[in-house]
Structure 1
Amino acid sequence: MTDGPELRTSSPNLASYRIRRERELGSLYATARALTALGELDAVLDSIVREAHELIGTDFTYLSLLGADGQLTLKASEGTISPSFNQARVPAGTGVGGRVIATGAPAWVSNYLQTQDVPHDRTFDDLVVPEGMVALLGVPLLVGQEVIGVLFAADRTERPFEHDEVALLSAFADHAAIALNNARLYDESRSALKQLQSAFLTIERQVAMMERAQSVHESLTRVVLKGGDANEIARLLVDHLRGAVTVFDRAGAVIAQCSPDAGLIDPLTSPPSRRTSPDAVEQARQSGRWATTTDGTGLWHSAAAIQAGDTHLGALLLTRGEEPAPVDIRMLERAAQIMGLLILKETAVAEAEERVSGELLTELLVSGPPVTPNQRARAHARGVDITQLNVIVVAKSATRSASQIGRRLHAMSSEWRGLAGEHLGRATLLATAADPSQLAETVHSRLRRELGSEVRVVAERVTDENWGRAFELAGKCCDLMQSLGVTDRGSTAERYAMFALLFDTERGEDLDRFLVDSLGPLLTYDRRRSTQLVATLSAYFGNVGNLTRTAGALHIHMNTLLKRLDRISSVLGEGWRSPDRALQLQVALRLHDLRSQIDAQP
């Protein structure tokens, strides 16, 4: 018996993700339509199992409601073959349903008749055999914190249920429970209307609240179906709940805010007090449902957790000057469930798009020219013209992973009609840009702000569609920057290219040893005697050994220059002007100059 193992989800292709999301939204729309129609309870039950069967894709699904005696009674099914199974009743405390009722959490078994983890009821087991049920998953139907029934998905072959199946059916069950509860409430209200004519005004108000809730739910559903975002949900709730609404992500950061007076608020520029998460949010997160608190200013804070199964995705917060009514809380919870489905959809689409973009990027870097028609067509479908991709950008950080940086590069890639992803442990962007230097600085600035940490960014122009060669050079330069002590800069590869080709960037101690062996004696001499022999040698090579131009560049007399050159010879030896020795010194001087510029920066 298990609540579902923590398994890694496979990487399906984009088509699989689209099919899955279309199926999910179709089920959501069908359930919302049943709620909107306020149909008979049996019709709603049939709609729930039918759409759950289509969504999950198991052999059959069924729904059992909890009676006052604690027994679960089957009310609707889809895909069953045995007529007797549809009469199933499970005594309290037995079977998978008993475990779900007791814990209020999903549960599943890979082989129901063989498992010993749950108490068995002989009568129910006799019904299982002709039906052929083997693997069974049950998720609770929750209204507030009360379990009103269990939604089951079953297969006639032994198998485990994946974590994403459990999470998806749980999210659907949360949504279905609302539709089911509303149908029950509607039936109860209709019955009460017939019995209590004297209480007509009270019932009329109840119907009005239901219609209001119905209207909100229809609006929330349209937001999801048309691909809306958190800002639209916040704005819609403000209109109906007459209070300020804040949307938090799973990390507790504000992603949307809206108030009746100010409208939408930018979380990045709002005062710190507006970004503070009240106690209600934390209480809702811990309970997985909702919580209401008050503060010293007389404001009421009501928060509803955004959940997908057992996964916390964030919270919705309503703040206003009066205590919310139960219908307001239900409306907030309903919006949180819709927000959860929206987040699941957006996450799946974004991950699929990132993966496809990253795969195409890797193909181009590995295969190189010529570009195949298939690659060109896949790029064109994403608005990318491969022939225009002329700059490669590599980014690394000591405190952020390549995948974290890669996701942000992917979010930026459309601005430069490019592709982004992770390749050989480096976050990479293949872009269309006229100025590689400006692109490097812009990307660095954006990453620095979004990551909140130091990051190195190197851009290199691509020639002859040889993206792999440009990537290799940019990567080496990015590593060399770290060896030189550069931790936070955007630059082109041109500045570091020659040195990146000369040194193994994974052996930074060799670079230090090279500088010490080449310039160590002169640096020590300058430091101890406050002379300028290193600067003199750099100017000498910079002016190709021309003494007149060297003296002019240093603003010193010729005799002074000659004395300094003699002193250099005494420190380094007479052979420092030989071609091999002179080349070594010039490379060392250039590296020393780069480090000096870095050290001089504030």
Structure 2
Amino acid sequence: MGQPGSGTADAVGEGELASYRLRRERELSSLYTTARSLTALGEVGEVLRSIVRHAHELIGCDFAYLSLLDEDGYLTLRASAGTISPEFSSARMPPGAGLGGRVIESRAPFWVSNYHEAQVLRHDSRFDLLVPSEGLMALLGVPLLVGEEAVGVLFAADRTERPFETDEVALFSAFAGHAAVALNNARLYEESRVSLRRLTDAYRTIEDQVATMERAAAVHEALTHVVLTGGGPGDIAQLLVEHLRGTVTVQDRDDKVIAVRGGRDEHADQDLARDLREEARRTGRCASSRDEGGAALSVVAVGAGGSPFGFLSLSGHAAPEPADVRMLERSAQIMGLLILMRDARVEAEKRVRGELLMELLSRRPLHPAQRERAVALGVDVDHLDVLVVADCPERPTSDIVRQLRPLSSEWSGLAGEYLGQATMLLRADDVDDVASALHHTLRRTLGAPTLVVADRIAGQERSRSFTLTQRCIKVMRSLGDNDRGASTHQYGMYSLVFDPERAHDLDRFLTDCLGTLLEYDQRRSTDLVATTAAYFAHSGHLSRTARSLHVHMNTLLKRLDRIGVLLGDDWRSPDSALRLHLAVRLHELRAAVDGPAPDATG
């Protein structure tokens, strides 16, 4: 065990010297013959096999093998000659370990006469387990150098313990030098051949690519034209039919067909179409398949900004080419953008109309920019003389507004949500007709009882009209009207309640009629006002009145006597009863609209 050394024994006689020279000549001749044979090879695998085979024959060892450095620095066995076990054939040596690691680090040959007992090496336990199975004993390794870089190690191994002579090491090293050159040339040759093959393949397909690009450019130009001219899904479907054979179908997000071009929309296998739509929606890519009859169907989801808008499908006898699939996917993207642009325009118009409505209902003067926007929308803000409020407890306000917006366009008006109420401003001659017509439409579209109240705007008092209509709705519900269209003047007799400007008149009327009872209820915590309201509500029928108040008849009679003491014995006379009945009813309605008055706690 040690560095190459010991040297060839000095020739004693001329015969031994001649024999030595003859052996060296044969070795050198074999070396150069082998080197020439290696240069004629091209495949890397073939070069590797040839190297170990010639190395095995050249040095006359039991077996030879070659390991190359991986990207991670491991030496991996790549070729062998001689009997080598399958386990040994997959040997990998970590960086710096074993005889190979020593050779890589020093870039110089190294040998050991007994590998297992060599203490100068850093052993690898996994490799050491393979040594007995192969019977490896003496081992010589020489570096494969490409310039100054070691790319691998060539090994010569014997199954008996023995030294390696200096001449053997020199010969093996020289052979390794030629082998490294041949191996590097083979690698370069293979890389060049791969590159050439790729260039050839690219050149062969360039005409197809040019044709595809030209067609794609034509489609792109046509799609751009559709976008610029404000086209829709039907235009894109027609464009695809002109470039693809088959039938193009456009469906909305509810799978309803909105456009068909190139033939009739005949999907015999609806289950297949449904499955492809689901796959296209899930993957975001084109989904294709054939039905039992052999017809091809391709489906791509239409969407933009994460919002699904529907599906674009192509059906025909031939399956689409990859370029056709890309064309279908791009068209779906353009269609999604068109729909998104359309929705954005609609949403922008809704926002502008909503802002205009807010400005008009506020007491601030309308900004000139807002007035210009109104003109652009075809709305004459100076002639919007009717205000409408719609209320449907079974539907969200947003649903009511959604139904009012298209109706507002028909009336050249504005619709939106104001202070939580679905509100509309419009121009009309007959307020009653407006309320009735809008109620009829909303009742049908919303499918639930709806109240619609309209008010004629006096001058520019739009906010006052909003207050009147909103409070009138509360009065109507208190009166039991839950599904009707009416104007505020139809409920004029209750204007004392819902008109804030007449609140003082209502207070004076209630004080004159009910002031004594209200004061008595507050001071004594009694229910005389409620008893009076129940009495009139049941047309003076005592037993029904007592049952509605959940009191005994004697209690009711005592309360009625007390009312007579406070109001006078004639309180049930026709004129007094009418006045008192109206007062308690208005008192109840005001509580429904405004909440209980501070002095009406009884």
Structure number with greater Rg is 2
TM-score w.r.t. structure 2 length? 0.46
Question: Which is bigger in relative contact order (C-alpha 8 A, separation at least 6)?
Answer: 1
